[in-house]
Structure 1
Amino acid sequence: MGKPNFSDEFKRDAVAQITERGYPVAEVSVRLGVSQHSLYAWKRQLAKVVSGDASKDAEIRQLKRELARVLIHSDQGSQFTSMDWAAFIRAHNLEHSMSRRGNCHDNAVAESFFSSLKRERIRRRTYKTREQARQDVFDYIEMFYNPVRKLVRNGMLSPAQFERRQILKAESV
């Protein structure tokens, strides 16, 4: 069985579902029966063909959609599986990220942060009071992690620098 041959129109429509309509690549892949790899390749290929302004406009629309979505990472603790929590999430137009038990991939960002917090700060200290621990964690987050600590996934920018860059990109539209 040979490699499927998709028309240019099909490829353009598939890419438009991602770049213009905001559907996730994984969803478009399943719906159209096309590999995610192919969709990314078509997206790159079409970006070269599309005029600079149209391509830039599509990227800006995608960035705005991504910035507008707030994702709440949590585990499956009872406080995060309650009906009250679900109502709160819906009322505030948030997206909840929680995978099945034993699968941490949806929660990887939170898990990574807590791993860094424990490794870089908590394991090195002994706290006499809960308030002392709370203040130290607050200082780690607000005085080091967010403004200073550079992250590979942010292009070697701190979270605060990365956020400022994203806001500036969105405002320059």
Structure 2
Amino acid sequence: MASRDPRWVLKDRPSFTLIIGLVLTGICAMVSFSFDVINGEPVQFFIALVLALAPVPLLLAAVLALDRMEPEPRSNLIFAFAWGAGIAVLVAGAINSLNLHYFIDTAKLSPTSARNLAATFGAPVVEETMKGLVLLGLLRFRRAELDGPTDGIIYASMVGLGFAMSENVSYYLSALN
């Protein structure tokens, strides 16, 4: 019996880099969610998590319906979603907190004014930059997978879905408190 070519057997397996990326984004999502658990009751956190997860399957189906003709690799889609839900949320939250403290401590603004200023001018730039970085990374390292503008829309939607899901947990928690 002839043995199979090892490349043929491993053809559809995700790359080692992708696996490391998914592990890192998962860790970032867990750290981000741990802040939500610390700031609220665990039961409220799980209620908020269920509420945040509820619309994701419907929105995911709508996004993937746009990509039915020439589907993108699942691994890339999962990585884009995980980036939005993990790394983008954690880094944006940290930078937004630093911006808020800068406005309070250095600019000597009241907490309310600092919060309004940071939410209006700081947070959008930071959050959108973090979401856009993965798109630039996909363009740089997975250019062969990007066949047209629809692919960019699909990946951007996946990042946005992940980010919105994680951010909604915080919003639901603050509403429950």
* Shorter-chain TM-score above 0.5: no
TM-score w.r.t. structure 1 length?
0.35
Bigger RCO (CA 8 Å, 6+ sep): 2
TM-score w.r.t. structure 2 length?
0.34
Larger Rg: 1
